[in-house]
Amino acid sequence: MALLQISEPGLSTAPHQHRLAVGIDLGTTNSLVASVRNGISVVLNDEHGRAMLPSVVRYFADGEVAVGEAAQALQSEDPANTIVSVKRFMGRGLSDVGDISQLPYRFAQEESQSSGHGMVQLRTVAGIKSPVEISAEILKVLRTRAEASLGGELVGAVITVPAYFDDAQRQATKDAAKLAGLNVLRLLNEPTAAAIAYGLDNASEGVYAVYDLGGGTFDISILRLSRGVFEVLAANGDSALGGDDFDQRIYCWILEKNQLSALNPKDTRLLLTMARTAKEQLTEHDEAHITAVLSGGEGIDNVLTQNEFESMSKNLIQRTLQPLKRALRDAKLSINDVKGVVMVGGATRMPQVQQAVGEFFGQTPLTNLDPDKVVALGAAIQANLLAGNQSRDDWLLLDVIPLSLGLETMGGLVEKIIPRNSTIPTARAQEFTTYKDGQTAMSLHVVQGERELVADCRSLAKFELRGIPPMVAGAARIRVTFQVDADGLLSVMAREMGSGIEAAIEVKPSYGLSDAEITRMLQDSTQHAKDDMQARALREQETEASQLIDAVQHALMQDGELLEVSQRAHIESQMNALRDALQSLDHMVIKRAIVALNESTVSFAQSRMDKSVKRALAGKNISELEIK
């Protein structure tokens, strides 16, 4: 069979030449790096034989930085300068962090010059650090490990992100990689990476669900694997749910059990660490002993049973099942259509998670590949391909975007340009026009979400198209093109078709986005579908009514002399009735008033047309009007 060789531009390899590329799983709790060696994807270990690098960074006053095991070992000693689970802060603002009193950090907010919103900042003894800088320290260690293991400089890396990461979080991840000296070949959704590893290692075909519960995020993807084509049918999830939340439940249980309150940062970090250890012990044991001595000398000695843990975490697991149902519905599939369920992420080791997923799908989940490593292994296969190295098989990856992208139109309505679950990379265009006579500029507001009104969606960016030739309202043709690249990042271009003037923006949204917002958007779109349609219908009628009133007023000013007094009075009466109808919240009331005003102006419109024809024919003779 002939091999289909796919590579990034400029990265195709000469025969027998192998370019060094890696896949990196930048995780909330642990991070890994993998590469393809002798045709097999393998995780690269450090000098001590450890595959996983704890995603923990500690800063010292002298500028030294400790990453991984060294930082994790003493995290309770200096919690304010030891950052854990930094992935949860990526692309987030201070207002999105939640109750900061539960965290042992000193926060600062740096304002973005462009948007007025900034990514959360942390004050350390080494100065203010952003999540991008902290993540870059983790990536630097992985890059150094890979280059030492592979014996050369890397040409690039595929870095995985949760499928439900929005544009801000994806951009922050790319920025961190750049700061770490890595050339990003692709940002790859974590569930898709896992499917690649399973699909190629097991020669699987059919529909598969990838259940990815990591340290800080949850994703579900439905994929169809067929003859080397990996097609993502639907993606869903919760970007504010992960293993950390299970730790938090145990932490709160400890506080309640021992009647503790107002802990200092050291004690908070100590108990959170003990909670995580207990969670891991309960994966293989029926009970876990939690013993600690707080800074005030108070001792803690508790026993947490598996049954107690299952009870306190039951609603967290239930939160993962709703996205499963939505993803299947979006893919237009039933549970019976799913051939296998792939478990990804260390949190899926919890027995209650595997039991709930097994019961939901009616089959035992697949765990023959290490759930901690499978994402990095799949990313390495994709990196090897993009670097231009030969692959074992011909295969094609078709991923999707998780939320719809569109523009604000008159009345605060959303016009969706690219619907959610569209295969990427993709580009789509739509034509718009001006609202007022003589309009020479247009403001374009790019939004993301599933609701009908802009107020209920996420604002991504705003830019202006200036220099539009002045024309009557509706005459200009503005073509707006949305382009989403393979990383899921968006760029938008607007072009006035007559003059050729254009404006473009690479959407780099504000980093101040809410953790729960994306999940809430999809939930709200379902729960409020009827209300949204009514609201949209109301806005559309309001916009049409305003345009009609403006048009009739303009006509009366220009040609009011064509009307008899009674005719003009009737039209003005209908205009006033339409203005009164605009105070109503019933779109049908407004619609009836629009119809009435239109009917009252029919003869007036005919008179104006006759006047225009007479003006056009004035001074002309028959010969000049003949068609030649």
Phi, psi (rounded to 5 degrees) for 214: -95, -165
Backbone angles phi, psi at 388, to 5 degrees: 100, 5
Asked if 301 is an active-site residue, the reply is no
Which of these, 372, 24, 51, lies nearest to 213 by C-alpha position? 372
User: Is 87 a catalytic site residue?
Assistant: yes
**281 contacts 250 by C-beta, under 8 angstroms:** no
Q: Is 256 a catalytic residue?
A: no
Using the structure block, give the residue that is written with the tokens 């930094």.
86
The question of whether 96 is a catalytic residue gets the answer no
Cα–Cα distance for residue pair 485/537, rounded to 1 Å: 33
Query: Out of 78, 133, 166, 190, which one is annotated catalytic?
Result: 190
Q: What is the DSSP string of 521-570?
A: HHHHHHHTHHHHHHHHHHHHHHHHHHHHHHHHHHHHHHHGGGS-HHHHHH
Residue 252's identity, in one-letter code, is: C
Catalytic residue among 25, 167, 219, 244: 25
Contacts of 259 (CB under 8 A, 6+ apart): none
Q: What does the DSSP 8-state code read for residue 350?
A: S
Region of 312 please: left (phi>0), alpha (psi -120 to 50) or beta.
Answer: alpha
The answer to whether 440 and 469 have CB atoms below 8 angstroms apart is yes
Q: Choose, from 78, 87, 238, 373, the residue flagged as catalytic.
A: 87
Nearest to 402 by CA among 178, 576, 208, 217: 217
Q: Which two tokens stand for residue 552?
A: 């009739």
Contacts of residue 404, Cβ cutoff 8 Å, sequence gap at least 6: 416, 418, 419, 420, 448, 449, 450
Q: What is the DSSP letter of 470?
A: P
Q: Which of 46, 133, 212, 450 is catalytic?
A: 212
Q: What are phi and psi of 51, to 5 degrees?
A: -85, -40
DSSP annotation string for 411-422: TTEEEEEE-TT-
396's CB contacts (< 8 A; 6+ apart) are 228, 229, 230
DSSP state of 337: G
CA atoms of 587 and 544, how far apart (whole Å): 11
What whole-number distance in Å separates Cα of residue 363 and Cα of residue 358? Answer: 5
Contact 431, 404 (CB under 8 A): no
Spatial distance between the Cα atoms of 628 and 626, rounded to a whole number of angstroms: 6
- The stretches of 69-189 forming alpha helices (DSSP H) are 69-73, 131-150, 167-179
The pair phi, psi for residue 385, each rounded to 5°, is -70, -45
Question: Using alpha carbons only, what angle is made at residue 33 by residues 168 and 425, rounded to the nearest 5 degrees?
Answer: 45
- For strand 184-189 and strand 299-305, is the pairing parallel, antiparallel, or unpaired? unpaired
248 sits in which H/E element: helix 243-258
Q: Which residues are catalytic?
A: 25, 87, 190, 212
